[in-house]
Amino acid sequence: KKDIPAVNFIIHEIHCRRNIEICPYCSDSIPKSEMKNHIESEHVQVTCKCRMKMESSLLKDHEASSCPLRPVLCQFCDIQLAFSKLQEHELYCGARTEPCGRCGRHVLLRELQEHPRVCG
């Protein structure tokens, strides 16, 4: 899968046929001696804590960005909880109130950032 000078092509092709395999899962060129390790480390099916099955090479990205059980912080109280519980928690948590330091009114936490525009 690389450009080879025409002079070296036959020797290179013989070398590749002897030493390189194409991965049946990702079509990458892998040295034959490393193919078993490649398949075990990249393509073995694993199960995330959310019970979703995927190739092991995809697990890290899944856990970081799309797993419903990935940890996230509430924007109002900074407590860490699972992403799947965030919306329900923030509805409750954002409905709590705190007194405004300027006008003294009790303001919903979810409206606290906008409050200074209408304060007083």
Q: Is the pLDDT of residue 1 over 80?
A: no
Q: Is the pLDDT of residue 8 over 90?
A: no
Tens of pLDDT, residues 39-89: 988 888 999 999 999 998 899 999 999 999 999 999 999 999 999 999 999
Q: Are strands 80-82 and 71-73 parallel, antiparallel or unpaired?
A: antiparallel
Band the pLDDT of 104: cuts 50, 70, 90: confident
Q: Is the pLDDT of residue 120 over 80?
A: no
Burial string for 81-92 (b: 16+ CB within 10 Å, else e) reads beeeebeebbee
Q: Is the pLDDT of residue 3 over 90?
A: no
Q: Is the pLDDT of residue 18 over 90?
A: yes
CA angle 11, 35, 67 (to 5 degrees): 135
Residue 101: the pLDDT is 87
